[in-house]
Amino acid sequence: MNFAIIDDDRTFAAMQEAWNALLDECAIRVPFLRHEYLFPWWETRGGGEWDAASALRIVTARRNDGSLLGIAPLFLASQQGEAGDTLRLLGALEISDYLDFIAPPGVLPDFIPALFDFLERAVPGWRVFQANNLLEDSPSRALLSAEAARRGWDFREEALQPAPRVPLPERWEAYLAGLKKKQRHEIRRKLRRAAAWESPVRWYVVEDEAALDAEVEALLHLMAYDPAKEDFLSQVMRTQMRRMVHAAFRAGWLQLAFLEVDGEKAAAYLNLDFDNQLWVYNSGLNPAYRHLSPGWVLLAHIIQDAIARRRTALDFMRGDEAYKYRFGGQDRFVWRARLERA
């Protein structure tokens, strides 16, 4: 393997086609590893989560013919409480639910040991390597543990959060039958009530890029009704979300859905329609329509539509909010692996 470091934005920006083609060969294929997601994430430093002193340190491995074998999408940053700089996966920490290395399953066992050999030689100043938001079935977890043991480094791993996921059957009625009786009844009742509402209730997915800016602003407005989300939505975070939405739309894996009551937006879901699965990323609700349960109604329509389009799963991603389990979420966990050099 021939390793090299990419430490400038221009070279990073030019990698999109080869980057995404390699991701398609990987065991862990998640939207947060797509080039068009990670590049705007880096431009805004995760919506302001990291400061401008953070340094890009993407490591690529290539064959002798120049073809891409593996990518370690890394950046170097310091954090309060850490001794020395830390190498992290691009996308860390908060707004990217799942992260990992980008290498095919047959390459990864050789890629990770050779990567750390290269990092020790070529990247000065780092003491800690931290991989956040690894899925529980990621092969990288065991490989990182073995690598730390081989080198005599300290290794720590911990489960961070549940990430409920719903396998989707081929029919809507089969999905409902898999829920608890009370939940099944509630979904049907809320859908009937919305259908019979005194004012027109409709849901739709944004399909016109010319309308996308206005629809994103409507999403952000609905999100800001929640005080915690309002605090989260700084100006730079809003910029990050706008860029991400446009990038996902152009790449064909955005689903921005709204529920309207008499023409006024009552609920929104920002989902990622990727790898034949639907990934529920964020949502917003207008409290004036709380009596209609617009979030439940919209989510039920989204699931029904996903089943009709033969999506295999609905991934609620990180967080243990109660509604995720009421809609059939089954826990899996994301993990953090931390290696510290001796």
The answer to pTM > 0.75 is: yes
pLDDT at 82: 56
pLDDT at 342: 85
- CA nearest to 91, candidates 34, 142, 135, 24: 34
Distances in Å between the Cα of 6 and the Cα atoms of 1, 96, 123, 284 are 16, 21, 11, 37
Compute the residue count for the chain: 342
Beta-carbon contacts of 137 under 8 Å, excluding residues fewer than 6 positions away, are 332
pLDDT at 209: 94
Q: What is the pLDDT of residues 213-235, one digit of tens each?
A: 999 999 999 999 999 999 999 99
pLDDT at 288: 97
Domains and CATH numbers, the chain: 2-161+334-340 (3.40.630.30), 165-315 (3.40.630.30)
pLDDT at 79: 64
* Residues in the chain with pLDDT values less than 50: none
Q: What is the pLDDT of residues 50-66, one digit of tens each?
A: 999 999 999 999 999 99
What single letter denotes the amino acid at residue 72? A
